[in-house]
């Protein structure tokens, strides 16, 4: 195949027309599609970065909330422990007071009973003494008999 100048010029003109048509009609929509795609990709990357930052912020806030909740729980547990200690101490104090009252009441009852028993014993001793004196006076005063009566009284007491 021979290349002559008119064919070459015709091919150059056809190529130029094809470049002009491509630049005028095909290139702008193609560039717009590429730019739109780049813009969407950039927006997606920005959205992913924002989501990543928001996730990190949310994790930090969640960690802070957990830390705060643990601190509050520790305070509540400490208060509960103090209250329990106070309740136990108060109950112990109340029990000691009640025990002291019961002991004092029991001691007073014991003292009263001992006093009554002493009084009754004095009365019985007095009756025995009187009975012994009556027996002694009814009999003749004799040292041996008197000694036997005293021994009998001592045995009865």
Task: Give the model confidence (pLDDT) of 6-46 as tens digits.
Answer: 888 999 999 999 999 999 999 999 999 999 999 999 999 99
pLDDT band at 125 (very low <50, low <70, confident <90, very high): confident
pLDDT surpassing 60 at residue 141: no
Residue 128 contacts residue 149 (beta carbons within 8 Å) = no
Phi, psi dihedrals of residue 79, rounded to the nearest 5°? -60, -45
How many domains does the chain divide into?
Answer: 1
Q: What is the structure's pLDDT at 120?
A: 80
Summary mean pLDDT of the chain: 87
Task: Give the residue numbers spanning the domain of 123.
Answer: 5-156
Q: What is the percent of the chain where pLDDT is above 90?
A: 66
Structure tokens at 15: 């190529």
Structure tokens at 102: 């019961």
pLDDT band at 110 (very low <50, low <70, confident <90, very high): very high
CA–CA separation, 42 vs 35, rounded Å? 10
CA–CA separation, 69 vs 71, rounded Å? 5
pLDDT surpassing 90 at residue 72: yes
Q: What is the structure's pLDDT at 131?
A: 72
């Amino acid at each position: 195949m021979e290349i002559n100048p008119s064919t070459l010029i015709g091919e150059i003109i056809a190529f130029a027309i094809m470049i002009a048509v491509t630049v005028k009609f095909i290139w702008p929509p193609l560039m717009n599609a590429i730019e739109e795609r780049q813009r969407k990709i950039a927006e997606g990357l920005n959205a992913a970065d924002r989501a990543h930052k928001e996730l990190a912020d949310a994790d930090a806030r969640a960690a802070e909330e957990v830390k705060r909740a643990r601190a509050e729980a520790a305070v509540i547990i400490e208060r509960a422990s103090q209250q329990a200690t106070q309740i136990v101490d108060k109950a112990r104090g109340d029990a000691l007071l009640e025990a002291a009252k019961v002991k004092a009441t029991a001691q007073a009852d014991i003292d009263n009973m001992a006093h009554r028993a002493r009084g009754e014993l004095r009365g019985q001793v007095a009756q025995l003494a009187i009975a012994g004196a009556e027996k002694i006076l009814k009999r003749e005063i004799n040292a041996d008999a008197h000694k036997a009566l005293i021994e009998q009284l001592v045995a009865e007491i």
